[in-house]
Amino acid sequence: MRHGQAEARLGGRFEELVAIMARLRSPEGCPWDREQDHRSLRQHLLEEAYEVLETIDAGDLHALRGELGDLLLQVLFHAQLASEEGEFDIGGVIRALRDKLVTRHPHVFGDKQIETPEAVVTEWEGIKRRERSQTVQEQAATGIPKQLPALARAQTALRKAARAGVSGSAEEAARALAQSQARFAGADAAGAEQALGELLFAAVDLARLRGVEAEQALRERVDRFLREVQLPASGESEEEGE
Q: Residue 26: inside a domain, yes or no?
A: yes
Tally of residues, the chain? 242
Q: Measured between alpha carbons, how far is 168 from 176 in angstroms, rounded to an integer?
A: 10
Q: DSSP alpha helices (H): ranges in 59-145?
A: 61-84, 90-103, 106-109, 117-132, 136-140
Q: DSSP alpha helices (H): ranges in the chain?
A: 3-25, 31-35, 42-58, 61-84, 90-103, 106-109, 117-132, 136-140, 150-163, 170-185, 189-209, 214-229, 238-241
Distance of CA 135 to the CA centre of its chain: 24
Give yes or no for a contact between 123 and 139, defined as CB atoms under 8 angstroms apart.
no
Q: Residue 209: inside a domain, yes or no?
A: yes
Give yes or no for a contact between 200 and 151, defined as CB atoms under 8 angstroms apart.
yes
pLDDT score of 239: 46
Each of the 242 residues of the chain gets a pLDDT tens digit; together they read 566 777 778 888 999 999 999 999 999 999 999 999 999 999 899 889 989 988 998 899 999 999 999 999 999 999 999 999 999 999 999 999 999 999 889 888 988 888 888 888 878 777 777 776 655 555 545 568 787 888 888 998 888 888 777 777 888 888 888 988 898 888 888 889 988 999 999 999 999 998 899 988 998 898 889 888 876 545 454 444 43
Give the list of residues 6+ apart from residue 69 with CB closer than 8 angstroms, or none.
Answer: none
CATH of the domain at 19: 1.10.287.1080
How many domains are there within the chain? 2
Burial 67-94 (b: 16+ CB within 10 A, else e): beeebebbebbbbbbbbeeeeebbeebe
Which amino acid type is present at position 227? R
Q: Measured between alpha carbons, how far is 77 from 191 in angstroms, rounded to an integer?
A: 44
Q: Residue 116: inside a domain, yes or no?
A: no
Domain that holds residue 25: 10-92
Q: Residue 157: inside a domain, yes or no?
A: no
Distances (CA, A) of 183 to 158, 175, 199: 22, 12, 9
Q: Residue 22: inside a domain, yes or no?
A: yes
Q: Which of 73, 92, 111 is the last residue of a domain?
A: 92
Give yes or no for a contact between 96 and 75, defined as CB atoms under 8 angstroms apart.
no
Q: Residue 62: inside a domain, yes or no?
A: yes
Q: Which of 37, 67, 92 is the last residue of a domain?
A: 92
Q: Which of 64, 92, 120 is the last residue of a domain?
A: 92
Q: Residue 136: inside a domain, yes or no?
A: no
Q: Residue 182: inside a domain, yes or no?
A: yes
Q: Measured between alpha carbons, how far is 32 from 44 in angstroms, rounded to an integer?
A: 13
Q: Residue 210, Cβ neighbours under 10 Å: how many?
A: 11
Burial class (CB in 10 A: 0-12, 13-18, 19+), 61: exposed
